[in-house]
Amino acid sequence: MDGLRTITGVDERGARLIGALLEQRYRVDALLARGGMSSVYRGLDTRLDRRVAIKVMDARFADDRTFVDRFEREARSAAKIHHPNVVAVHDQGVDRTVDGNLVYLVMELVDGGTLRDLINERGALDTPLTLSIMEPVLAALAAAHRAGLVHRDVKPENVLIGHGGEHGTAVKVGDFGLVRAVASAGTTSSSIILGTVAYLSPEQVTTGAATARGDVYSAGIVLYEALTGVTPYTGDNPLSIAYRHVNDDVPAPGERLTGLPPALDELVVRATRRDPAARPADGAAFLQELVALRAQLSVPVVPVPVPEPTIQDRTVPVTPVDQARALTPPPTDDPEATSGGLNVADLGQPAMATSNATIVRQAPAGFRAMGPQGTRAMLRTDLDQAQPRPPQPPVMHPNLGSPSVGFPVPPMPPPPRKPSRAQRGMPPPKRSTNIVLWSIVVVLVLALAGTTTWWFASGRWTTVPNVAGQQATKAQTVLRDNDIEADMTHVWDNDVDAGLVVRTEPGAGRDVLRGDKVKLVVSSGPPRVPDIEPGTSVDDAKQAIKDAGLQPGLDDGLNDFSDDVPEGTVLRLDPEGGTQLRLNERVDIVLSKGAEPKPLPDLRNKTKDEAFAELTNLGLQPVEGTAAFDQDIEGGRVIGTDPPAGTVVNGDSQQVTVVLSNAVTVPDVNQKSQQEAEATLRQLGLDVEVQNLGGGGGPVLAQNPPANSRVQPGTKIVIWTVP
């Protein structure tokens, strides 16, 4: 009855919230999901007229000052993550009412369902769809890890799929930091296992440590479940499942579902290693490997269907009777479906109250054990109760004195019967001689059988050693010592120094045939911007940037003029060559726009050669036009250009017509003889009219126009002569 009252109280309070206005701003409209520590409602920000999702924390947390302080800090941290695949946090606050305080979080509303809904609808997802979902999930984790924030509860319920995005669907990760806030509410990580049991990393179970590599482990379990439709572990109860995370290796999904690419199997196994150091370092490293795998397998990007959402109700009474009932396996005819009160699909998934998806056991005094969307609280000391029985000792072969390996050694057949020595008239042999001979035969046969068994069972196999972080040459030696050939390849890596081993493929701990080749992936260190010569084609520059582990980009706003680099070719890179960046960072290619348009200079009164030289230096093509008369400019010098001075022209073989002056400077012919004066003037293209004074024939006394004046060609010059 106490449990019934607890459920009824929660339902009544939730019903009263519908239509309420939190802090006179956020209107609560409809219930979307309800969990052990919170309920999520569709709402409206009345100030901005924006549809939002409102997460209202359970009243038990609202009275805990430690939780409220941590909740506010974690909400602020989550709000700092600005990424298209992270559910945006808009606001957080406390609405104080007479019925009690309401601690709430206002988030972006994703109109759709969750990855859990999609798996429930379809079961195992195909490889293209799985990778199309996991890429944005890992991109969100990478953004959080760069900001120093660990999710701690990566699972299908926290992967939201809604309308919108580049391909019509948006995949987003939510609930960053909320598990960490719950962890502060009256307990310590040293005594409590907090999280969703099906997705907990081994270190979260054993020590409570939550790191980026722990998120990688949980994301690897999500990838496994998306590919197969089920989580890798089942057990008699949630504690036994947590025990398996600590003591068992996650199997490859290909062992459950045939047809998966081996490289995808290897990625899942590597992401879920029990040793955190053997996993990808963080979400960015996991994403890099997933993108490389997609390219290797040529897997297309496909649209992600929006699943039908289901209202998730996980409110459970917290009473010893109900908790004991929750730990009792339900009756079922299918032994494969049992997992300690939860079938395979229930682990960390939406469930009705009877499945006890939130509360696992009676929590310690002072700790409020319920959490978001299947998050669990378990005593770490209870792991001892979940340990399986020790294995039985192997059957010993009576002759070898050691465990049989592979298959039993058959008993020796009796030797063929021969006539006795007495029948052949021979004395009987000594008994000791027969025993020695038969002992030798038995030992040899058993040794041969044991060697053959060992070889076919395990002897021809060897285990790939862990050489990550070692110098490449040393790693090659270690592999050779284990009868493995190294096929070395280099990759860019943000975190591993150049020359050190990043990983092996297959990974450490995997069995391979002796003499086989194993890919030894060696770090080239963080990528650097390549040096690109000016004038390089855009395609060649893009390829060089991709080969350096970076992403090429073009930005027309960065392009610039150059007198030396042809238009449309590479002028430079931004950042410049040699700059160290992180893997897949963007490098902009700055293109040349050709010679910068320049205004024509004023070339008046310059000689033809001077004008032509100056125009040529500007990248222009000068040509001589029809000469014209200008009284102020000496003949042969420039009187103007076409286009005129000051006009802005492009330097791509633009012609400029140079107009020269044809003015003739009248020479001084006074005191010259008539014949000499006429010859001088006519030689300059001038006409001559002679006026004789008193018979003429003598020297020139005067001329008109006067000497040194400028006239047009053919102008008549009058001279006066005397006898």
Task: Give pLDDT tens digits for 383-430.
Answer: 555 444 444 343 333 333 333 333 333 333 444 454 554 444 555 555
Is residue 290 a contact partner of residue 216, using CB atoms and an 8 Å limit? no
Kindly report, residue by residue over 195-233, the tens digit of the pLDDT.
678 898 998 888 777 889 999 999 999 999 999 999 998
- In the predicted model, what is the mean pLDDT of the chain? 77
Banded pLDDT at 538 (limits 50, 70, 90): very high
Q: For 652-665, what is each residue's pLDDT tens digit?
A: 557 899 999 999 99
pLDDT value of residue 118: 94
User: What's the rounded mean pLDDT across residues 616-627?
Assistant: 87
538-545: Cβ within 8 A, 24+ apart: 538/568, 538/569, 538/570, 538/589, 538/591, 541/570, 541/573, 541/589, 542/589, 545/573, 545/587, 545/589
CA dist 190 and 365 (Å) reads 15
What class does CATH assign to 665-721? alpha beta
Strands 89-97 and 100-108: antiparallel
% helix / strand / coil in the chain, to the nearest 5?
Answer: 35, 25, 45
Q: Does 264 have pLDDT greater than 70?
A: yes
Please tell me the predicted confidence (pLDDT) of residue 673.
87
Q: Could you say which architecture CATH assigns to the domain 538-591?
A: 2-Layer Sandwich (3.30)
Name the active-site residue from 153, 175, 215, 493.
153
Question: Which of 622, 276, 337, 262 minimizes the C-alpha distance to 466?
Answer: 276
Domain ranges within the chain, ordered by starting residue: 115-308+378-383, 466-523, 538-591, 598-662, 665-721
153 classed as catalytic: yes
**Residue 362 pLDDT greater than 50, yes or no:** no
Cα dihedral 141, 147, 149, 150, rounded to 10, equals 30
Phi, psi of 686 (to 5 degrees): -105, 155
Residue 160 has pLDDT above 50, yes or no: yes
CATH class of 115-308+378-383: mainly alpha
Q: What is the pLDDT of residue 218?
A: 95
- pTM, 2 dp: 0.47
What integer pLDDT is reported at residue 522 of this predicted model? 93
Confidence grade of residue 651 (pLDDT, cut at 50, 70, 90): low
CATH of 466-523, one of 3.40.50.300, 3.20.20.80, 3.40.718.10, 3.30.10.20: 3.30.10.20
Mean pLDDT along residues 703-712: 90
Name the CATH topology of 598-662: Trypsin Inhibitor V; Chain A (3.30.10)
CATH fold match for the domains 598-662 and 665-721: yes
Q: Of all residues in the chain, what percent carry a pLDDT higher than 90?
A: 33
Cis amide linkage into residue 622, ω under 30° from 0: no
Q: What is the mean pLDDT of residues 361-383?
A: 42
Distance of CA 687 to the CA centre of its chain: 88
